Amino acid sequence: ELSLTTHSYLSRPLFIPLVTPSMLHDTLDSVKLKGRSFLTLKDFNAEEIKHILWVSADLKNRIKHRSEYVPLLQGKSIAMIFEKRSTRTRMSTETGFSLLGGHPCFLTPQDIHLGVNESTTDTARVLSGLADIVLARVYSHSSLEHLDKDASIPIINGLSDLYHPIQILADLLTLQEHYGSLKGLTLAWIGDGNNVLHSFMMSLAKLGVNLKVATPKGYEPDANVTQEAQLLSKQFGTKLQFLTDPMEAARDSNVLVTDTWVSMGQEEEKKRRLKDFHGYQITMQTGSVAAPDWTFLHCLPRKAEEVDDEVFYSPRSLVFTEAENRKWTIMGLMVCILTDYTPQIPKLKF
Respond yes or no: is residue 299 known to be catalytic. yes
What's the rounded Cα separation, in Å, for the pair 284 and 246? Answer: 13
Cβ distance 333 to 38 under 8 Å?
A: yes
Cβ distance 29 to 47 under 8 Å?
A: no
Maximum CA extent, the chain: 60
> Which residues does 75 contact at the CB level (< 8 Å), separation at least 6?
101, 102
- DSSP at 207: G
Dihedral in degrees, nearest 10, Cα atoms 192, 251, 8, 330: -10
Residue among 81, 162, 213, 299 flagged as catalytic: 299
Helix (H, G, I), strand (E, B) or coil at 95: helix
42, 113, 124, 291, 297 from 150: Cα distances, Å: 21, 16, 6, 47, 36
What's the rounded Cα separation, in Å, for the pair 152 and 214? Answer: 40
Whether the link from the prior residue into 301 is cis, omega within 30° of 0, is yes
Q: Beta partners for 157?
A: 136
Q: Of 338, 329, 319, 339, whose CA–CA distance to 59 is shortest?
A: 329
49, 97, 160, 332, 343 from 23: Cα distances, Å: 18, 28, 37, 20, 11
What's the rounded Cα separation, in Å, for the pair 107 and 100? Answer: 20
Cβ atoms within 10 Å, residue 277: 21
- DSSP at 38: B
- DSSP at 184: T
- Residue numbers annotated as active site: 299
